[in-house]
Structure 1
Amino acid sequence: MSTLFASTPAAVPSTKTLQIAGHRKNGKQWHPTRKAFRPTAGQTSYAKRATKTAQQAEVKKLETEMKAEKEEERQRRIQAIKDKRAAKEEKERFEKMAEKMHAKRVERLRRREKRNKLLKS
């Protein structure tokens, strides 16, 4: 009786089986099969294109913001290194002066230079 009723899923042949094509006429079986040329297949509506370009512009804006933040952080680190080096050089210079001169005179010169720097900027 089970042979009359083909209600079991194993007995029903699948509709999505692979189609086996024979050999190609030109003999190039390794190439994929070609589809028909449809010139209007890639066309989209103006609304879709407009939303896509708007989305791309938003992504680009976000990218530029992120790049600017990264560059700003990089410049901040570079400036910190430069400031540290300048302070170290100045300290070494005053230490050299302290070897030759009296400590009070070196302090006086340091204060005077600091005032001059503040006046310049």
Structure 2
Amino acid sequence: MSTTARPRAIAPSNKVKGRRVNGKQWHEQKSAFRPGAGLTSYEKRTEQRKTLEAVKAKEKEMKEEKEAERQRRIQGIKDKREAKAEKERYEKMAEKMHQKRVERLKRREKRNKLLKS
């Protein structure tokens, strides 16, 4: 046995094609134009359309869900602010008026709100 190792044959990943005729070696090599190469069957296209529609429907559903949650949060914030403003208004009224009269006005306003709704 000899101590020298044999060099392994390395298969080239790209086939060497030689120099370009026009001298523009920095450009990529173009492949032949084959117009029928990208065509797919009708069944394949319909299947792709169905999957795309399903994905779009799911995306739309998720967006609507997210928007509904956002609107719910916004409505909660508005309700809290409205309640706080009403409470402050009743406190100001209580400073000026008698407590029983304030309670009576509250009940009357609640009745009016229910009638409007």
Equivalent position of 2:55 in the other structure: 59
Shift of 1:23: 2.0
Which of 2, 14, 21 matches 2:17?
21
Equivalent position of 2:109 in the other structure: 113
Which of 73, 97, 116 matches 1:101?
97
Equivalent position of 2:87 in the other structure: 91
Deviations 1:80-114 (A, max 9, x none): 11111111111111111111101111011111111
Shift of 1:30: 1.5
Q: Could you tell me the TM-score, scaled by structure 2's length? A: 0.87
Alignment of 1:69-84 (within 5 A): 69-84=65-80
Report the aligned-residue RMSD.
1.8
Shift of 1:43: 0.4
Shift of 1:22: 2.3
Distance (Å, rounded) in 1 between the aligned partners of 2:89 and 2:68: 31
Shift of 1:12: 7.6
Range with bigger deviation, 22-31 or 108-117: 22-31
- What stretches of structure 1 move > 6 A for 4+ residues in a row? none
Q: Could you tell me the TM-score, scaled by structure 1's length? A: 0.84
> Matched residues, percent identical?
64
Distance (Å, rounded) in 2 between the aligned partners of 1:11 and 1:28: 34
Gaps of 5+ in 1: 1-9
Equivalent position of 2:3 in the other structure: none
